[in-house]
């Protein structure tokens, strides 16, 4: 281990605080000495709460969409397939922008604050398009493409912000922020089910677009990244000990052996495996989000059960992300990831069973499990990426992993509707359960690059 003090200068914070760089046995550099208050002027906890609030604001675009589709179909004259493909295109662009947005941020072309500003206005355009454009192709362009890109800018910026500010305990913090992307939609799920019709849809969608714009802009004003290689001073990155809460997590989830560029991360083979596992798992999750309300109605459950099942899914989807994020700091990231993917797969078969025996309480129970498994894997991938490849290129590396969701959106929503039409809901849910189990097998193959396999699990 080497340590070299560096006087405050042009690369140091405006406060004049000094830092030193520590190099471990693998050659990884840690910049220690500056506190979060030296850099931000306040606690880094703000870099958890502000991204969390912004994530709750944009969650309405995905998690409440399924509850709005019937009214949208009647208002604009769209078929069910039209509405599902609009969401699929939204997912494609929401996930697809993660990599280029990360690359622009790490090249210094696009700051975190500016990425959020751009995203907020694009989200507004998306809701205005959904409200006022009856031509399905224009709606796809406005909500699916522009709105999807806007949500992707916000999502990727918020997730990467947390990982940079909490490198020593990413699991719980990332899970908490990521959870907002699900349960933030809960009020809108019930609005779309009970107070959204062809007489007021213009006003409702316009107001939601304005709400997203204002909330994201307000949060973005305070966004700021830490310096490269920054590490909290209270936790020793070499001994993985100290007074900080993150010391115990580091023992189970050791930091990456070095900072991997995207090309280097791909060459390890682990990033492609993460991508494949996320493609499969996210496809199952998106399928559940898209079809649960319709399946509930198909088997004869009332609108309250249908809406409640989606509400339960959204809440547990979000809360589960925080719980599993915290759990991963104790169990380890990989074990926690495999656990939630298996739960997601079993829940798909449980939904079929509940529908066959027409049990409303069982249906809600498996909606609970589906929501839990269908959201908690996202923060696991978000935390595993810097755990394996470091924080300095995390916006780009995680952008590559998360880009798998653009493929998932196609077979989870649009292609999922085709499977439902051909095989029925039972066949589609059985296929989803099998795909989830395959994703768990792929996740079992993950290993931290450059470190012994025993230390990575």
Scan for tokens 């989803």, then name that residue. 432
Both tokens of 165, joined, read: 């500010």
Taking only the tens place, the pLDDT of each residue in 230-251 is: 888 777 777 654 444 555 667 6
Residue 92 pLDDT greater than 70, yes or no: yes
At residue 311, the pLDDT reads 67
Residues in the chain: 457
State whether the Cα torsion 47-215-113-401 is positive or negative: positive
At residue 326, the pLDDT reads 83
At residue 308, the pLDDT reads 67
Q: For residues 369 and 347, is the Cβ–Cβ distance under 8 A?
A: yes
Both tokens of 149, joined, read: 């890109």
Per-residue confidence band for 368, with pLDDT thresholds at 50, 70 and 90: confident
Closest CA to 286 of 456, 437, 28, 63: 63
At residue 303, the pLDDT reads 63
Which segment of 17-21, 76-80, 321-325, 378-382 scores lowest on mean pLDDT?
17-21
Domain boundaries 39-456, corresponding CATH code: 1.20.1250.20
Which segment of 6-10, 88-92, 305-309, 323-327 scores lowest on mean pLDDT?
6-10
Query: b/e for 308-332, b at 16 or more Cβ within 10 A?
Result: bbbbbbbbbbbbbbbbbbbbbbebb
Per-residue confidence band for 414, with pLDDT thresholds at 50, 70 and 90: low
Judged by DSSP in three states, 242 sits in strand
Closest CA to 159 of 448, 378, 392, 443: 378
At residue 9, the pLDDT reads 34
Residue 90 pLDDT greater than 60, yes or no: yes
For residue 32, what are the β-bridge partners? 20
Which segment of 62-76, 302-316, 423-437 scores lowest on mean pLDDT?
302-316
Average pLDDT over residues 168-185: 84
pTM of the entire structure? 0.79
Percent of the chain whose pLDDT exceeds 70: 88
State whether the Cα torsion 342-345-346-347 is positive or negative: positive
Instruction: Compute how many other C-beta atoms are within 10 angstroms of the C-beta atom of residue 21.
Output: 16
Percent of the chain whose pLDDT exceeds 90: 35
Please give the Cα distance from 322 to 383 (Å, whole number). 12
Angle between helices 148-165 and 112-132 (to 10 degrees): 150
DSSP string, 126-177: HHHHHHH--SHHHHIIIIIIIIHHHHHHHHHHHHHHHHHH-TTSHHHHHHHH
At residue 48, the pLDDT reads 93
At residue 131, the pLDDT reads 92
At residue 42, the pLDDT reads 86
Q: For residues 23 and 29, is the Cβ–Cβ distance under 8 A?
A: yes
Closest CA to 225 of 94, 115, 307: 115
Which segment of 17-26, 132-141, 421-430 scores lowest on mean pLDDT?
17-26
Taking only the tens place, the pLDDT of each residue in 99-143 is: 899 889 888 899 999 999 999 999 999 999 999 999 999 999 999
Q: For residues 116 and 215, is the Cβ–Cβ distance under 8 A?
A: no
Which segment of 13-22, 48-57, 310-319, 433-442 scores lowest on mean pLDDT?
13-22
């Amino acid at each position: 281990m080497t340590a070299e003090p560096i006087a405050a200068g042009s690369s140091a914070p405006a406060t004049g605080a000094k830092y030193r760089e520590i190099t471990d046995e693998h050659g990884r550099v840690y910049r220690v000495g500056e506190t979060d208050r030296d850099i931000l002027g306040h606690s880094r906890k703000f870099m958890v709460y502000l991204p969390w609030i912004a994530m709750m604001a944009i969650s309405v675009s995905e998690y409440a969409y399924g509850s709005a589709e019937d009214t949208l179909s009647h208002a604009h004259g769209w078929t069910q397939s039209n509405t599902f493909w609009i969401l699929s295109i939204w997912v494609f662009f929401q996930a697809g922008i993660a990599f280029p947005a990360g690359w622009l941020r790490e090249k210094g072309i696009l700051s975190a604050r500016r990425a959020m500003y751009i995203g907020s206005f694009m989200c507004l355009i998306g809701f205005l398009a959904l409200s006022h454009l009856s031509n399905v192709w224009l709606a796809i362009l406005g909500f699916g493409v522009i709105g999807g890109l806007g949500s992707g800018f916000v999502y990727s910026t918020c997730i990467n912000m947390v990982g940079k500010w909490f490198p020593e305990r990413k699991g719980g913090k990332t899970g908490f922020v990521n959870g907002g992307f699900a349960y933030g939609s809960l009020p809108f799920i019930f609005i779309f089910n009970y107070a959204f019709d062809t007489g007021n849809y213009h006003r409702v969608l316009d107001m939601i677009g304005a709400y997203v714009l204002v909330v994201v802009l307000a949060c973005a004003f305070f966004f700021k990244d830490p310096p490269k290689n920054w590490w909290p001073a209270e936790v020793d990155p070499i001994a993985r000990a100290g007074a900080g809460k993150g010391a115990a997590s580091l023992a189970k989830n050791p930091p990456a052996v070095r900072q991997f560029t995207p090309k280097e991360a791909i060459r390890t083979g682990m990033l492609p495996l993460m991508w494949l596992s996320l493609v499969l798992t996210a496809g199952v999750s998106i399928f559940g989000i898209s079809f649960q309300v319709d399946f509930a109605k198909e088997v004869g459950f009332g609108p309250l059960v249908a809406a409640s099942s989606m509400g339960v899914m959204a809440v547990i989807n979000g809360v589960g992300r925080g719980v599993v994020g915290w759990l991963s700091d104790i169990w380890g990231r990989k074990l926690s990831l495999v656990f939630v993917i298996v739960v997601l797969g079993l829940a798909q078969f449980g939904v079929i069973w509940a529908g066959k025996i027409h049990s409303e309480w069982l249906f809600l129970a498996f909606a609970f499990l589906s929501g839990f498994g269908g959201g908690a894997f996202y923060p696991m991938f978000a935390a595993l990426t810097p755990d394996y490849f470091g924080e300095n290129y995390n916006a780009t590396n995680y952008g590559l992993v998360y880009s798998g969701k653009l493929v998932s959106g196609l077979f989870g929503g649009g292609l999922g509707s085709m499977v439902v039409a051909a095989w029925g809901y039972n066949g589609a849910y059985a296929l989803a359960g099998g795909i989830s189990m395959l994703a768990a097998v792929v996740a079992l193959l993950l290993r931290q690059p450059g470190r012994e396999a025993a230390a990575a699990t």
